[in-house]
Amino acid sequence: MTKPAITGKGEFDMAAARTRYRQDGVVFVPGALSPQALQQAQAAFDWSLANPGPLASKISQHSDALFYQDLNNLSCLPAYREMLLSSPLPRLVADLWGTPDVWFMYEQVFLKEGGESRRTPWHQDSSYLSIGGDDLAVVWITFDSQAKEDSLEFVLGSHKGPLYDGSSFELDNDTAPLYPGGQLPRLPDIEANRKNYDIASWAVEPGDVVIFHPQMLHGGAPTHPGTRRRTLTLRFFGQSAVYEKRPGRPAGPNAPGLHEALSHGDPFRNNWFLKLLPRAA
């Protein structure tokens, strides 16, 4: 089980975190967001809830619990721009990569509340994305305290491959493949065989963040009656990112003309993506 990259004095050890990110694919960063930065992130989350994009959906449940998600709303930039430009997260991500260039890729919001919700099935974000490379990061921000057993979980080192087919999020079959034709191997049933995997999770408080590579196998615990989980993920890419074809039309990242202009292996670039670091003079 991995541990937070924290020294004995409670200070964040970036050198250890950078090594852990390369090896494990995920790091926990306590207190990464100041109260002001957290407030700005929550304002962005609230904007997304109030302004659903074309990919907004409610995930099927066995109960009356709400499991809502939205992602890659191309209208979000005016509402997100100030938060992104002032946030410490792009610098934190650049330091983890050890490279200077950071672009904002897209956002994703999740809301679970009401009754007993289903787990978020084990999956890799990269199965749904037309992007690859080492300089990729998903920053997971929660606005509600989460116990370790109720938090996001990761299979350590799984960002190194293989890349599995995506989960189609069928209600009674978490590993049902997303793409036809079997071009990618089917997801293993991790939840039924947890003892065979090196699984990590953390208790998190508002202001803490978890940063992971999108090829990590990960899944989310259910919520319980009377509780809720509001989370925002911000996704970033760097200089080494490349365009990667998937068997079907990916959920993201999307931008005007992106998929028409790029071929497999091309540098991942499009003028829609906001360059955060280095900042233009």
Give the length of the chain.
281
Asked whether residue 156 is assigned to any structural domain, the reply reads yes
Answer whether residue 224 shows pLDDT above 90: no
Asked whether residue 159 is assigned to any structural domain, the reply reads yes
Integer Cα distance of 44 and 82 in angstroms: 10
Report the pLDDT value the prediction gives residue 144, as an integer from 0 to 100: 96
Q: What is the DSSP letter of 69?
A: E
Asked whether residue 10 is assigned to any structural domain, the reply reads no
Asked whether residue 11 is assigned to any structural domain, the reply reads no
Answer whether residue 250 shows pLDDT above 90: no
Q: What is the pLDDT of residues 62-111, one digit of tens each?
A: 888 899 999 999 999 999 999 999 999 999 999 999 999 999 999 999 99
Report the pLDDT value the prediction gives residue 280, as an integer from 0 to 100: 61
Report the pLDDT value the prediction gives residue 2, as an integer from 0 to 100: 43
Report the pLDDT value the prediction gives residue 180, as an integer from 0 to 100: 85
Q: Which of 108-122, 198-212, 266-280 has the highest average model confidence (pLDDT)?
A: 198-212
Asked whether residue 276 is assigned to any structural domain, the reply reads no
Asked whether residue 9 is assigned to any structural domain, the reply reads no
Q: Which of 37-41, 163-167, 168-172, 194-198 has the lowest mean pLDDT?
A: 168-172
Report the pLDDT value the prediction gives residue 152, as an integer from 0 to 100: 96
Integer Cα distance of 137 and 41 in angstroms: 17
Spatial contact of 140 and 211, defined as CB atoms under 8 Å apart: yes
What residue type is 76 in one-letter code?
C
Q: Which of 51-60, 152-161, 221-230 has the lowest mean pLDDT?
A: 221-230
Q: Bridge-partner residues for 233, per DSSP?
A: 108, 140
Answer whether residue 54 shows pLDDT above 90: yes
Q: Which domain holds residue 136?
A: 18-271
The CATH number of the domain where 83 resides is what? Answer: 2.60.120.620
Rounded to two decimals, what is the model's pTM? 0.94
Read off the pLDDT of each residue in 181-191 and give the average, rounded to a whole number. Answer: 95
Number of CB atoms found within 10 A of residue 104's CB: 24
Q: How many domains does the chain have?
A: 1
Q: Which of 9-23, 54-68, 215-229, 257-271 has the lowest mean pLDDT?
A: 9-23
Q: Which of 5-9, 55-59, 116-120, 206-210 has the lowest mean pLDDT?
A: 5-9
Report the pLDDT value the prediction gives residue 23, as an integer from 0 to 100: 98
Residue 52 CB partners (closer than 8 Å, separation 6+): 70, 73
Report the pLDDT value the prediction gives residue 138, as an integer from 0 to 100: 98
Asked whether residue 8 is assigned to any structural domain, the reply reads no
Could you tell me whether strands 152-155 and 136-142 are parallel, antiparallel, or unpaired per DSSP bridges? unpaired
Answer whether residue 9 shows pLDDT above 90: no
- pLDDT averaged over every residue in the chain: 93
